[in-house]
């Protein structure tokens, strides 16, 4: 259970931080819309342009709140493209998300029926890695230059 909670906590932190920073910055909303493949698929007529523009913040917020932040293949490039934060090698987190899934949905066994190994040491190691990751994100977002965010 502790393993699952730690992984869920970092997912919640990443989601909350990203959503808060992006939805409170027109500059970051624009970067997300311009870089996320989901938005390039959306089309509308010129007649709808002002309606879509006025509701853009809500559209972005809804999209982000519906996004599953343990989908690290999607989240990692979003942080890079929008917040200019590179997670570096987070292969450990990919593995821990899978381990959490097996703990929660398979009662601590992988799909082959093998027991998942979780120990005091593995939890402490995970906590340290999560702390380092969160600290690095905090450093990046605290250094974002957007005091006078110009309108798009």
pLDDT in tens, 45-69: 777 777 777 778 888 988 998 888 8
Alpha helices in the chain (DSSP H): 2-23, 26-35, 37-40, 49-54, 56-66, 72-83, 91-105, 120-142
Domain range list for the chain? 2-142
Q: What's the pLDDT score for residue 146?
A: 57
* The model's pTM: 0.83
Low-confidence winner among 19-23, 34-38, 122-126, 143-147 (lowest mean pLDDT): 143-147
């Amino acid at each position: 259970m502790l393993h699952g909670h730690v992984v869920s906590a970092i997912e919640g932190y990443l989601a909350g931080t990203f959503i808060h920073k992006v939805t409170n910055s027109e500059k970051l909303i624009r970067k997300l819309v311009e870089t996320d493949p989901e938005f390039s698929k959306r089309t509308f007529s010129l007649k709808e342009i002002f309606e879509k523009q006025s509701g853009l913040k809500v559209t972005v917020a809804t999209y982000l709140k519906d996004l599953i932040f343990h989908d690290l293949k999607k989240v990692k490039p979003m942080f890079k493209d929008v917040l200019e934060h590179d997670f570096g090698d987070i292969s450990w987190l990919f593995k821990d998300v899978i381990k959490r899934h097996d703990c929660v949905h398979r009662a601590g066994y992988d799909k082959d029926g093998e027991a998942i190994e979780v120990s005091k040491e593995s939890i402490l190691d995970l906590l340290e890695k999560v702390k380092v990751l969160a600290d690095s994100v905090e450093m990046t977002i605290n250094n974002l230059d957007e005091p006078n965010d110009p309108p798009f």
